[in-house]
Structure 1
Amino acid sequence: MSSLSIRPVVTKADTKAFIELAYRLNGNDPNWVAPLRDEEYAKINPKKNGWFSHAEVQLFIAERDRKVVGRISAHLDLLALEMAPEQGFGPGVGFWGMFEAEDQNAAKALINTAEDWLRKKGMNKAVGPMSLSVWEEPGLLTKGYDHPPTVLMAHHQPQYRGWIEGMGYGEVKKLLTYDLDVSKGFPPLINRIVAAGEKNERIRIRCVDKSRFEEEAKLILAILNDAWSDNWGFVPLTQPEIDDVGKKLKPLVFEQLIRIAEYDGEPVAFMVALPDLNEALKPLKGHLLPFGWAKLLWWLRKPKARTARVPLMGVVKRLQASRLASQLAFMMIEFIRRDSVANFGVTRGEIGWVLEDNQGMNAIADAIESKINREYLIYAKTL
């Protein structure tokens, strides 16, 4: 019987093998969108991913007969260790992620290896999959295998769920994404709420100014870190992360698709929507050469996308229990809906991810008649 071995990623050849495995194992899945290889290398490069400024990571690969058959990351997030345990992480909690496996035996050996690494670091609880940060691709896809993910969302093989749960992992949180038809507008009640807000001189919903990109990004970050601070799994974004995410997302920033809400002149809420880059990436199969770069640049000049995703939205904490918070949310959604349809050809929207127990956001999603289309589970196990 062929022997299976697990070893840490050390060399450039190891790193390439770690990256390439995902393309081999998922390449025949019609709903998997191959990420650009440069982006995948950047994700695990401490010099290009600001998250590493507060993290420690070890990558592992599984081999059988000199063939790579699996991969996993084991990692610590120093800021997550400082969280209150009731918010999901806290002292003693480590993570694993970037998980891919050809078979159950490889999966079991990889997860055991990640757990051993975490134990040696003094951790008593493993949470996963977390690939790598909670702000990147958290959770395992458990519903929505039948359609491609939108930009910055993950797609996984269905068998992974049984393999992970078979290792003694239990669900700790469910993340949802919502699908909606944006071509037809929203229900009459929502339209009346938006119309009333448009007549209120104290409210201003403005587009971001891309010529002041860094200033606007800091403003959104300040609202985000306040709005999300009590959420399960919240780890504050740091400046190195903002700098690197800014570089990555700036080509996808279109002023009409990102709104800031002001009340009495004070910025109190924001909403970010992104045209679905995955629609342009899917035909490239992870390659920019020979002509992929030209196709991508052409698309980014004035993208036409069927779908726009809302990955981030927030209202300052002091307003979250008020009617104003909902009104501002509906106004931003409607303003972006209008512009995405008129100027980008969008007919479908996706909101999320959203925590299953985030009552405010789930109520907003229900009010605009959106439906859950994808679910991701985050698991945990006592070590």
Structure 2
Amino acid sequence: MPNADPLRVVPVEGRRAMAAFIDLPRRLYRGRQGFVPPLALERRMSLDPKKAAFFEHATAQYFLAYRGDRPVGRISAQIDRLHLEAHDPEGGQFGLIEATDDPAVFAALLDAAEGWLRERGMRRASGPFSLSINEECGLLVDGFDEKAMLLQGWSPPYAAARIEERGYAGVKDLIGYIYDPASAPPIDARRLLERTGASDRVTVRKADLKSYADEIRILVGLFNEAWADNWGFLPFTEKELKQLADGLRPLVQDDLVWIASMGGEPACMVVALPDLNEAIADLDGRLLPIGWAKLLWRLKVKGLRQARVPLMGLARRHHRTVLGSALLILVLESLRQALQKRGYTSVELSWILEDNGAMNTLARSIGARPYKTWRLFQKELA
């Protein structure tokens, strides 16, 4: 039935409104299969312009929709200077969109974000990006019942239709794959490597956490090089690199990070991280009063059974070569054995662009199957 309470959308101002903005998904989706409430503490830090590295090159405005005095939706509008310079000088973005299944709420939220972008000279709006392409991006359109994993968003089944009703069209799909390292077939990369005649110059090693900062630079350097030509790609900045390294440090395990070198020069890498969402699923987004203890025990004592591969990259000089294929398989097979040894039973590879044929083929070749799809939308702001 239509809700008689008046609907209004207002900019988020002050700590109380920001707390309501962060808490809204938990209130809207609590109990929905697949949804995992994010940690409120982490959300506050990642959305704070004074703390998050994203705001070194971007500006944003958050909005809340109210029915009467009750929050029923939220959205962000942001302009990323790096995106303007690299891809679209008139392309603004939206993100963090969550709302009740009410067309009027979605319309009001998107109107507010579009108006803010228009006022600043933007002629297109794309998203959702929460807040950048190197964070959570895309709206879930398939795989709603599968639990959201580390640094991946969840959306209710009705959200895509509500956004499309406002004139947005899908521009790119992002695919998530899942596989079990115990049942995945082992692949003999060495035989493939021998065909290149370079096997004596190739080495594969796990990460050296005693040189953590140096290792992160190698990994991100390879990632930035490997994905430089991909749709929408933006490299990590120096500040983002440090923030990423600091934030992930408690989750990084040396044998879940593998680097292949050619002639002593890093050429390929893969990173898997324990799925933090598995450890926090029942904490309702809160670490107090005893959430800290539960989280530490699950991470350090009990151990987790789910992991996600958020980073994988091959140096561009080896793209579309037999050697490049061999290097990728070498690091993936090393990772598979480590995951199996640690008892991981469910590993997500995500995300991969729908039109990245080489990576989609590789994912399937190691026994992974597609199980989630996120979609990015765009609209001309006439």
- TM-score category by the smaller chain? over 0.9
1:183 aligns with 2:186: no
2:52 to 35, 38, 49: 49
Match of 2:26 among 17, 23, 28: 23
Answer yes or no: is the 8 Å Cα contact 2:187–2:333 preserved in 1. no
Q: Which residue of 1 aligns with 2:96?
A: 98
Query: Which residue of structure 2 lines up, in the alignment, with residue 374 of structure 1?
Result: 372
TM-score, length-normalised on structure 1? 0.95
Relative distance call for 1:184 and 1:2 in structure 2 (3 A) is: closer
Q: What CA distance in whole angstroms lies between the structure 2 residues aligned with 1:242 and 1:190?
A: 31
Q: Deviations over 1:245-273 (max 9, x none)?
A: 11110111100001111011111111110
Aligned-residue RMSD, C-alpha: 1.8
SS across alignment from 1:288: coil
Q: Residue in 1 aligned with 2:313?
A: 314
Contact 2:190 2:326 in 1 (8 A): no
Deviation of 1:212 (Å) = 1.0
Counterparts of 1:133-148 in structure 2, within 5 Å, are: 133-148=132-147
Matches of 2:15 and 2:285 in 1, distance apart? 19
Moved more, 220-229 or 188-197: 188-197
Q: 1:196 to 1:172 in 2, by over 3 A?
A: same
Residue number in structure 1 paired with 2:221: 222
**How many angstroms does 1:190 deviate by?**
5.8
| Corresponding residue to 2:350 among 330, 349, 352 | 352
Alignment of 1:1-383 (within 5 A): 1-84=4-87, 90-102=88-100, 103-186=102-185, 192-193=191-192, 200-301=199-300, 304-342=303-341, 344-383=342-381
Give the aligned length: 377
Give the match's secondary structure for 2:115: helix
State the Cα deviation string for residues 106-134 of structure 1 (Å, max 9, x = none): 11100011001000010000001111111
Q: Quick check: 7-16 or 187-196, which moved more?
A: 187-196
Any runs of at least 4 consecutive aligned residues in structure 1 with deviations exceeding 6 A, and if so which? Answer: 194-197
Q: Which amino acid aligns with 1:55?
A: A
Structure 1 segments unaligned to the other structure (5+ residues)? 85-89
Q: Report if aligned partners of 1:75, 1:118 keep a CA contact under 8 Å in 2.
A: yes
* Structure-2 residue corresponding to 1:87: none
Does structure 2 conserve the Cα–Cα contact (< 8 Å) formed by 1:72 and 1:97? Answer: yes
So what's the TM-score if we normalise by structure 2?
0.95
Q: Which amino acid aligns with 1:80?
A: H
1:207–1:259 CA contact under 8 A, matched in 2: yes
Query: Does the residue aligned with 2:153 lie in a helix, a strand or coil?
Result: coil
Q: Secondary structure at the match of 1:251?
A: coil
Give the Cα–Cα distance (whole angstroms) in 1 for the partners of residues 191 and 199 of structure 2: 13
**How far 1:57 moved relative to its partner?**
0.4
Question: Would the aligned equivalents of 2:187 and 2:366 in 1 still touch at CA under 8 Å?
Answer: no
Once residues 166 and 185 of structure 1 are traced to their aligned partners in structure 2, the CA distance between those partners, rounded to angstroms, is 41
Displacement after TM superposition at 1:305 (Å): 2.3
Structure-2 separation of matches of 1:292 and 1:188: 41
Shift of 1:47: 2.7
| Contact 1:271 1:332 (8 Å CA) reproduced | yes
- Secondary structure at the counterpart of residue 167 of structure 1: coil
Q: CA offset at residue 330 of structure 1?
A: 0.8
For structure 2, the residue ranges without an aligned partner over 5 or more in a row are: none
CA drift at 1:192: 4.7
Closer, same or farther: CA 191–281 of 1 in aligned 2, 3 Å: farther
Partner Cα distance (2:187, 2:276) in 1: 31
The share of aligned pairs that are identical, in percent, is: 40
Tell me, in whole angstroms, the C-alpha distance in 2 between the residues paired with 1:27 and 1:345: 29
Deviation (angstroms), 1:142: 0.3
1:334-374 Cα shifts (integer Å, max 9, x gaps): 111111111x2112221110001111111101211211000
